[in-house]
């Protein structure tokens, strides 16, 4: 799963938002945003959060 939301715009989500998604999948986030995702409710349910350079034009 890929999120294009930068850390400065990240928001808490309902805990049931990703109920149908395997929390063991890798969540790719914009470079510099991993720690924010890891501590934000809902997003922090993912066990693997990996930073990458995200192409916002895709």
Average pLDDT over residues 29-33: 94
Q: In Å, how far from its chain's centre is CA 15?
A: 13
The per-residue pLDDT for range 7-18, each reduced to its tens digit, is 999 988 887 888
The mean pLDDT of the chain is 87
Average pLDDT over residues 19-45: 91
| Beta carbons within 10 angstroms of residue 55's beta carbon | 8
Q: Indicate whether 15 belongs to any domain.
A: yes
Q: Indicate whether 2 belongs to any domain.
A: no
Q: Which domain holds residue 24?
A: 7-52
The pTM of this model reads 0.79
Q: Indicate whether 1 belongs to any domain.
A: no
Average pLDDT over residues 43-51: 93
Q: Indicate whether 20 belongs to any domain.
A: yes
Please count the structural domains in the chain: 1
**CB within 8 Å of 28: residues ≥ 6 apart:** 1, 2, 3, 50, 51, 52, 54
d(CA 58, CA 46): 23
Asked whether 15 and 42 are in contact (CB, 8 A), the reply is yes
Residue pointed to by tokens 């850390």 = 7
pLDDT class of 56 with cuts at 50, 70, 90: low
Q: Indicate whether 41 belongs to any domain.
A: yes
Q: Indicate whether 14 belongs to any domain.
A: yes
């Amino acid at each position: 799963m890929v999120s294009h939301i930068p850390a400065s715009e990240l928001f808490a989500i309902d805990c049931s938002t990703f109920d149908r998604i395997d929390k063991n999948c890798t969540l790719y986030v914009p470079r510099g945003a991993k720690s924010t995702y890891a501590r934000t409710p809902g997003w922090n349910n993912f066990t693997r959060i990996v930073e990458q350079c995200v192409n916002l034009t895709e």
